[in-house]
Chains A and B, each alone.
Chain A
Amino acid sequence: MKILLLILVWLSLSANIKDKMFNFYQNEKYEKACNLGYSALDTNARDEEYVSLYAFACLKSDYIDRLGMPISLLKFAKESRSNAAYFSVILMQKKLLYHALVDGYDLSELKLPTTNYVLSKIFDLYSKLGKHEARSVYLFDDKNNPKITYKLYLVNDKKLSKMVIEEYYDTISIQRHVYW
């Protein structure tokens, strides 16, 4: 009886976390959703809805490195596998782009799938440049909308360089993403 009660309590608590996370996600509080999901990921590792929601929240809040766990956990449903592939492409492109910017690694020979995520767009635009001398700032025009432009540059911290992507619409800054 006690065990049953404990199981019920555990189930209600885990469901509560998922609901909270979903609320945060719906309220566009992606960072909160990502952090909440991260705190209880171990106990909900088999719940693919939970893991997917956590992954999308982290993606929206630019916590790309946290996608590593969902990539390996999402494998049971078709939709999950599709999302895992989507996340893995973004994670790989982030790592490659960072490697290219910091160490001058040549991306022009690579032919990877792409996504609708901003990092993928920048990756595609950057890799099309081919071999070139490193620049302090890269400016790119969006393929589909000429009014949208992107600015890519490195910010050198004391220990670590950070990759910054700024999105502009008609010279108005819309969003800023920082990755390292």
Chain B
Amino acid sequence: MHNIHDLEKRWLNYKIKSYLPHAGAAITTLLLLIYIYKAIEAPKIKEQKSVIKEEKIKQVEQVVLEKKEPLKEVIQIKIELDKDNNPDDDKVLILNPSLDFMKNLRISSIATHELETEKTNPLQTKDLSSIEKNTNIKDINIEEEKIYTEEKAPTLSLIKQETMDDINHVIQRFRKNNNPALSLFIAKKYYKLKDYHKAYNYALVTNGINKNIDESWIIFSKSLVKLGKKNMALKTLTQYIDQSNSTNAKILFNDIKSGKFK
């Protein structure tokens, strides 16, 4: 009797042993292939990884830099604030008045000249205030208004004489101390007396001594207009407005240009 079970076991062992070299060779080849593949691909992955890393580093650096930049700004702002807090620094906010609304103000009636009779001696009425008609900046002294409208009255000619004496007295004082306040006073007086040549001259002298007196430039320009030199007055005012940004000068400029002031 044949032992079938034993034979089958021996046959299976034989078969397994016969396949083992093939299986070993196949596994070895596979391992080799994997190794070779890895050997080839590894540098590329490393490169890619390094590139990605570099990109990430760059991105991080950029983020860091971006984060650093506001810090710099903050520091700069702080420095500026520190500068502002410095008591020696003269940078202070300056508020300026706006008188543009006056351009809109229209005077319907002719300016009243306020010829109020003073209860006191008329010779003592040395009011220097000017009267402007219909937004025209036309200074007319109350005394002089009386003089020119009522020249026949003997008392008023005395006032004129008194005014001229005043001017002469002030001129003498001006020659002594060269004070622009006095020359401006003289210019205004002559303007009110309609002596525009002298008013122009004294305003010019005043501007020469102190070029920052608003009124002096106004009298200067108004005298020029009265002397028929409108373009020169406009040119002078333009230069003065550029320099000083004076509202009064702007108003006068517009009035001269529009023909309101002649």
Contact = CB atoms under 8 A, between A and B. Distances in A.
Contact of A19 (B96, B107, B114, B129): B107
Contacts of B212: 144-145
Contacts of A147: 210
Nearest to B84: A111
A48 B100 CA distance: 12
B112 A86 contact: no
Interface residues of B, number: 32
B179 interface: yes
Grouping DSSP codes into helix (H, G, I), strand (E, B) and loop, the A interface class, with mixed when no group exceeds half, is: helix
A72 interface: no
Given A113-B93, A115-B94, A145-B210, A26 B131 contact: yes
A172 B99 contact: no
A49 B114 CA distance: 23
A168 to B, nearest CB: 10
Nearest to B114: A27
A113 B92 contact: yes
A116 B109 CA distance: 33
A148 B181 CA distance: 11
Given A85-B95, A86-B95, A114-B94, A79 B100 contact: yes
Contacts of A27: 111, 114, 129-132
A173 B112 CA distance: 31
A92 to B, nearest CB: 11
A72 to B, nearest CB: 17
Contacts of B114: 27, 29
A176 to B, nearest CB: 15
B239 interface: no
A82 interface: yes
Contact of B101 (A49, A89, A124, A170): A49
A111 B83 CA distance: 13
Nearest to A59: B97
Nearest to A15: B108
Interface in B153-183: 177, 179-181
Contacts of A94: none
Interface string B24-56: 000000000000000000000000000000000
A56 B180 CA distance: 26
Contact of A53 (B94, B101, B112): B101
A105 interface: no
B109 A19 contact: yes
Interface string B79-98: 00000000100001111111
B105 interface: yes
A22 interface: yes
B111 A48 contact: no
Nearest to A170: B179
A161 interface: no
A170 B105 CA distance: 37
A80 B105 CA distance: 15
B104 interface: yes
Most A CB contacts (10 A, CB to CB) among B105, B131, B179 go to B105
Interface string B119-133: 000000000011110
A52 B101 contact: yes
A49 B177 contact: no
A15 B109 CA distance: 11
A169 interface: yes
Given A15-B108, A26-B132, A79-B100, 10 more contacts: A19-B109, A26-B135, A27-B130, A53-B102, A56-B97, A82-B98, A86-B98, A89-B95, A114-B95, A115-B94
